[in-house]
Amino acid sequence: MSKERILVVEDQPDISSLLKIYFTSQGYEVFTAMRGQVALEICSKTPPNLALLDVNLPDMEGYDIGKALRASPRTRHIPIIFLTARGERRDRLVGLGEVQAQYYIVKPFDIEEVHMIVKNQLDDARRKNQLHPVTNLPTADLINDQIRQLLSTQGWGMALVHINGFETFTQSYGSVVGEDVLKFSALLLNEVVNELGSTEDFVGHMVVGPTFVVTSAPDRLKAICERMMTRFDEEIGLHYNYKHRKQGYIEVTDDQGISRQVPLMSLSIGVLTSQDGPFYDIRELSETAEETRQRTVQQARELGKKSWVTFGRVR
């Protein structure tokens, strides 16, 4: 299981260093930023599990960071705790009301009290099954909430992205290396969506298995899928040893003792848009997306391709 990530946004080096040293010693992975723009870049690339925000920053107010996180489907779930010297009533109302932060703590603070609040917030998110334990991407209820919102609108696209051959790879290389592949895939998805998508786009990871969900506008989603496949096929070989990478497959033995060759991992992607509807509930949309993705596996095999994408439902 990955360490939970905390983002500390603080422009005073002594306080930033104190928080990083303390929370690192408690077993968290800590990112720090002294400017708001840097914090937003971190959140778009590797969304944290929780954000500790100062209000007074050189380039923007911490409130603006919080509002930006709340505005994006990929980060709106992140718990926000303000640590600031601004303790006026109107400041608290902005932080707790407009930004919808979980806590507003005025400096000077008791670091053990802050830790207890952070721990409780992360425990609560874990109980709600909101984040995947390996990739820290939204999962379960957050994916369902996103799909539910799609069903009430028009002009959307949804991609179901599955890593073919992941189970065989994990059996051969071990679960720890398998988790590295999931982290790599999540990071790659975020990078591609940041490059070709918008802040309105969503990336999630299904609770079970190596399957991801991406939502975006149809035209952007097409470009995202194509770039994702190209980069995945180019870079996935780095997770194999030299022999397997060079020959392009790994050898496995089944229960009957028969040896077979399994190609290197690839992606199968099924894409649906609002034009493929109507879809009446989450289950119907999810099952249709999976049927579309399954067609992709067959098409890729027939065409001799690695990763492949299929657009549209079967009528």
Per-residue model confidence (pLDDT) at position 125: 84
Q: Is the pLDDT of residue 296 over 90?
A: no
Tell me the two tokens of residue 309. 């994408």
Q: Is the pLDDT of residue 115 over 60?
A: yes
According to the CATH classification, is domain 141-311 in 3.30.70.270? yes
Per-residue model confidence (pLDDT) at position 259: 85
Q: Is the pLDDT of residue 300 over 80?
A: no
* Centroid of chain to Cα 260: 34
Residue carrying the six token digits 């939970």: 4
Q: How confident is residue 314, by pLDDT bands cut at 50, 70 and 90?
A: low
Per-residue model confidence (pLDDT) at position 208: 86
Tell me the two tokens of residue 114. 């802050």
CATH class of 5-127: alpha beta
> Taking Cα atoms as reference points, which of 79, 77, 69, 14 lies closest to residue 43?
69
The mean pLDDT value for 23-43 works out to 96
The predicted-structure confidence for 52-83, as pLDDT tens digits, reads as follows 999 999 999 999 999 999 999 989 999 999 99
Averaged pLDDT score across all residues of the chain:
92
The predicted-structure confidence for 186-245, as pLDDT tens digits, reads as follows 999 999 999 999 989 999 999 889 999 999 999 999 999 999 999 999 999 999 999 999
* Run of H or E residues at 255: none
Residue carrying the six token digits 């994006």: 72
CA separation for the pair 231, 196 (Å, rounded):
13
The predicted-structure confidence for 130-144, as pLDDT tens digits, reads as follows 889 899 899 988 999
Q: How confident is residue 1, by pLDDT bands cut at 50, 70 and 90?
A: low
Please state the domain extents for the chain: 5-127, 141-311
Please state the pTM of the whole predicted model: 0.85
Q: Is the pLDDT of residue 315 over 60?
A: no
Q: Is the pLDDT of residue 48 over 90?
A: yes
Strand ranges, E, within the chain: 5-9, 29-33, 50-53, 80-84, 103-106, 157-164, 202-205, 211-216, 249-253, 259-263, 266-273, 308-311
